[in-house]
Amino acid sequence: LNAGPFLISRMAFVMSETTYAPVVLIICGGFTGLFASVTFLTQPSVKTALGYSSVAHMGFMLMVCGLGVYPAAMLHLVAHSFYKAHSFLSSGSVIDVVRASKVALPKRRGSLVRIVGGTFLALTIYLGSSMLWGIDPTEELALLATGAIIVMGLSQMIIPALDSGVYVSSILRTCVLAIGVAVAFFSLEEGTHHLLHSQLPGLSQPGVATTLLIGIVVLIYGGVVFLQILAPVLPSNPLWQKIAIHFRNGWYVNALVDRLVGALHLPESNKLFSEQNLPFKKAIHLKEEKRHKKAVIETF
């Protein structure tokens, strides 16, 4: 599963010398991460949800490799291993999660002012953390774009707290946690860069096409996260339910792939399969004959 990001990172010096490979990685990885993330949110099965979660992480890491932030990709690779191990080991506690979901939570108010304020607060925390580490936007645009995903995660922590009208102490704890996440991201990324600086190329100035793709990816990801934040306060719409059903089925990609793979079966393999099941078919045939004879005898 980790072969894709790992092999791309090992060939980082080759990838950095090409023009089209990073563009392909950004497009394919960005789409894969977005599609699998949204599909993951609609899955009722724990195993299926974890599978789509892994697909989303791998796609995101390939996109980060396309941006040229290879230390962040390797950091994400290691962090994903710990996260996925914890997810599998704690999957048995889903009953506790269901019980906890029955606890009455503060109701969202749907205040646009609070939502915008929470977004700006998350952005301020992120920019403050980047300035603390001396990140130059003109030289490290790709790193800032990667960290923009952190802003989206921070906004999902801060906005519900602000919009729910909880106690000030709860809001302060949320902000402290958000600051810790932002500082941890840049600290660990910097540490990974120092450990692997001889094995991975440094950040390069992105071209026009890459810069345009960075903007498009950030806008699309931000739009999806913003819809997720607004979802609890939006009125119910049958259209969203229909779209959720399609995402729950993964837009039927698995069915199409299974049909494609089934169509590629060779006649020799089908013949071998039939020969292997010949004794079983004979036993079924004899059993049916005995049942038929018994029915005829009972009739007379």
What does the pLDDT average to over 34-39? 91
Query: Is the Cβ–Cβ distance between 41 and 54 less than 8 Å?
Result: no
The pLDDT value recorded for residue 274 is 53
Q: Give me the mean pLDDT over the 32-41 stretch.
A: 91
Query: What's the chain's Rg over C-alpha atoms?
Result: 26
Label residue 30 by pLDDT band (50, 70, 90): very high
Q: Is the pLDDT of residue 19 over 90?
A: no
Least confident of 11-20, 155-164, 192-201, 281-290: 281-290
Contacts of 269 (CB under 8 A, 6+ apart): none
DSSP one-letter code for 197:
T
Mean pLDDT of the chain: 80
DSSP string, 125-175: HHHHHHHHTT--TTT-HHHHHHHHHHHHHHHHHHHHHHHTT--HHHHHHHH
pTM: 0.77
On whether the CB atoms of residues 61 and 29 are closer than 8 A, the answer is yes
Which of the four pLDDT bands, split at 50, 70 and 90, describes residue 206?
Answer: confident
Cβ distance 84 to 46 under 8 Å?
Answer: no
Distance CA 93, CA 254 (A): 28
- Say yes or no to pLDDT of 27 above 90: yes
pLDDT of residue 31: 93
CA distance 193 to 31: 26
DSSP 231-293: GGGSPP-HHHHHHHHHHHTGGGHHHHHHHHHHHT--HHHHHHHHHHTHHHHHHHHHHHHHHHH
Q: Give the span between the Cα atoms of 153 and 234, in whole angstroms.
A: 20
pLDDT in tens, 47-77: 888 889 889 989 999 999 998 889 888 888 8
- Kindly give, in sequence order, each residue whose CB lies less than 8 Å from that of residue 78, ignoring residues fewer than 6 positions away: none
Question: Above pLDDT 70, what percent of the chain?
Answer: 83
Which band of pLDDT confidence, cut at 50, 70 and 90, is reported for residue 26? very high
Higher per-residue confidence, 299 vs 250: 250
How far is it, in rounded angstroms, from Cα 278 to Cα 272?
10
Please write the tens of the pLDDT for every residue from 241-293. 888 888 888 888 888 887 787 766 655 555 544 555 556 556 666 766 776 66
Residue predicted with more confidence, 187 or 291? 187
Q: pLDDT tens, 65-118? A: 998 889 888 888 888 888 888 877 877 776 776 777 666 667 777 777 888 888
Token pair for 291: 């049942």
Those residues whose C-beta lies under 8 Å from the C-beta of residue 70, and which sit 6 or more positions away, are 9, 12, 64, 196, 200, 201
- Which pLDDT belongs to residue 62? 92
What pLDDT does residue 214 have? 87
Place of tokens 């059993």: 287
- Higher pLDDT residue, 137 or 59? 59
pLDDT of residue 150: 74
181 or 279, higher pLDDT: 181
For the cut 60, the answer to whether the pLDDT of residue 176 exceeds it is yes
32 pLDDT above the threshold of 90: yes
Within 10 Å of residue 19's Cβ, how many Cβ atoms? 9
